[in-house]
Amino acid sequence: MQVSLLASGSKGNATFVEMDGVKLLIDAGIGIRRIKNELAEIGETVDDLDAILITHEHSDHVKGLVPLLRACDAPVYSRRGTLKALPRINEMPLDRLHAIGDSITLGKVRIESFNLLHDAAEPCGYSVIGDRKCTVATDLGFVTSVVQSSIEGADALVIEANHDIDMLRNGSYPWPLKSRILGSRGHLANSDTAWTLSRMKKKPSIVFLAHLSEENNRPELADGTVRGILKEQGITLSETKIALGSQNEIVTMGNTY
């Protein structure tokens, strides 16, 4: 298993996952040149991709999708509502867009999708399951029982830690935007992420804190909040690594490039 956050944040998101020889790109929210360059940094190319998974249609998750489809032959999978809502869908080869239900199988890997609460058409997260399990759950305002169940058992977990509540409330954003982010269909606060991890029966080997706000969060604050709340609950992370997602650097299995 290899997990690499090529980019993570409000300006663009893309995550590479390799499991049992199946190579996936989850979201394509950065430009094609950067996708190619960052895949090259980890020894991959766009031609190596077996599939592209899209979590939802917001631009920071799909703005590189059209040129990516021109550059490779990989099929795209997402929820039916997301596919219908894709911007520039008239520029995409429709025969390569496939609606995903509860799960699909690619090679030796099963990919399960699960519902997320976010202000998009039909947002979802993904669990990639082979000899191990990697789950990606970002862009959600509330962790439902479905989400909590879906992330359980993940060896690698990519989970949103978008903002610090006090920084957001006291920051420069207009109130309607603050209200959207704080809402149940907005984004997870650092503290929400910590409580979600605390409820997991089996802790992952590595947790990627993803989609950190550049305006309303700091890497050290996200890390400190998560570790602090877990410590207060008597939970130690001696066997779990925490990696911090970055907008500008590749973060792969605890290493930054």
- The structure tokens listed for 82 are 């997301």
Q: Which CATH superfamily is domain 2-256 in?
A: Ribonuclease Z/Hydroxyacylglutathione hydrolase-like (3.60.15.10)
In whole angstroms, how far apart are CA 51 and each of 16, 23, 24, 138?
Answer: 10, 7, 5, 19
With vertex at residue 220, the alpha carbon angle to CA 235 and CA 153, rounded to the nearest 5 degrees, is 40
The pLDDT value recorded for residue 197 is 96
CA distance 154 to 159: 11
Domain ranges in the chain are: 2-256
Secondary structure element (H or E) that encloses residue 110, with its range: strand 109-115
Q: Give me the phi and psi of 103, to 5 degrees please.
A: -165, 160
CB 56 within 8 A of CB 28: no
Say if residues 159 and 195 touch (Cβ distance below 8 Å): no
Q: Which tokens belong to 210?
A: 């993803």
Given a contact cutoff of 8 angstroms between Cβ atoms, the answer to whether 28 and 13 are in contact is no
Q: What is the pLDDT of residue 163?
A: 98
- Give yes or no for a contact between 191 and 160, defined as CB atoms under 8 angstroms apart: no
Residue-wise DSSP of 178-198: HHHHHSTTS--BHHHHHHHHH
- Tokens matching residue 239: 């066997």
pTM of structure = 0.96
Spans of the chain, pLDDT less than 50: none
Residues 6+ apart with CB under 8 A from 114: 124, 125, 126, 127, 137, 146, 147, 150
Which pLDDT does position 253 carry in this prediction? Answer: 80
**Beta strand pairing status for 14-19 and 2-7?**
antiparallel
Query: Can you give the pLDDT at residue 254?
Result: 62
Q: In the prediction, which pLDDT does 236 show?
A: 79
